Amino acid sequence: MPGDQARPLKSDLLHINMGPQHPSTHGVLRLFITTDGEIVHTVTPYLGYLHRCAEKIAEGTTWHQYIVYTDRMDYLAAMNCNWGYCEAVEQLMRATGTEVEIPEYAQYVRVIIAELNRIASHLIAFGTYGLDLGAMTPFFYALREREAILNIFEKVCGARLMYSYYDIGGVKWDIPPDAMEEIKLFLKIFPKKLVEYNALLTENKIFVE
């Protein structure tokens, strides 16, 4: 009789393209996935969707002109990209016999600004991580502290995202007195905020269970 016997379901491998995502999203890549139902057999990643011919552009610019392009390497931590490039140029100059002396004060300024930018970048990292897993509140808390850092950067160099603040041999400007006061205030407040982040993420049900 029809229906008395169960026939095995036909199961073919399915090939799925996941991505590439829009360049404004984090983790830009294409995944070529082979699945059998809900079982994933293979995943082949394809990278390089953010390639911008930066090396070719550098061939047509001076050492100083290229600093602005380093902002785009990681727009969440542009200060650190500026610093990495400038320090690489300084090392090249020393290797070719040109002595470059970075004033001690400028070295301190470089570290202070880079650390603030690193914190701002990490705030976005863990905020979006929680958001992707369904924890929305930590994202807004992270943006709150990041906004304080961006306000400092705006006073230091007039920009909130693409700074071009570092220069070969130091930095372009000193930290203004009012920005220095905001940095001191941030350092006083921020450790207490870490307790909040810990409660919102580390002790969150999403992660604990």
Say what the pLDDT of residue 103 is.
95
Closest CA to 49 of 85, 80, 19, 77: 19
What are the residue boundaries of the structural domains of the chain, listed by start? 14-46, 54-208
- Specify the 3-state DSSP secondary structure of 35: strand
Strand boundaries in the chain, DSSP class E: 14-18, 30-36, 39-46, 166-167, 170-171
Q: What is the 8-class DSSP label of residue 96?
A: T
Domain 54-208 superfamily per CATH = Cytochrome-c3 Hydrogenase, chain B (1.10.645.10)
- Tens of pLDDT, residue by residue over 79-124, are 999 999 999 999 999 999 998 999 999 999 999 999 999 999 999 9
Q: Which residues of the chain have pLDDT under 70?
A: 1-11, 22-27, 50
Say what the pLDDT of residue 32 is.
92
> Using an 8 Å Cβ cutoff, are 43 and 31 in contact?
yes
> Using an 8 Å Cβ cutoff, are 48 and 58 in contact?
no
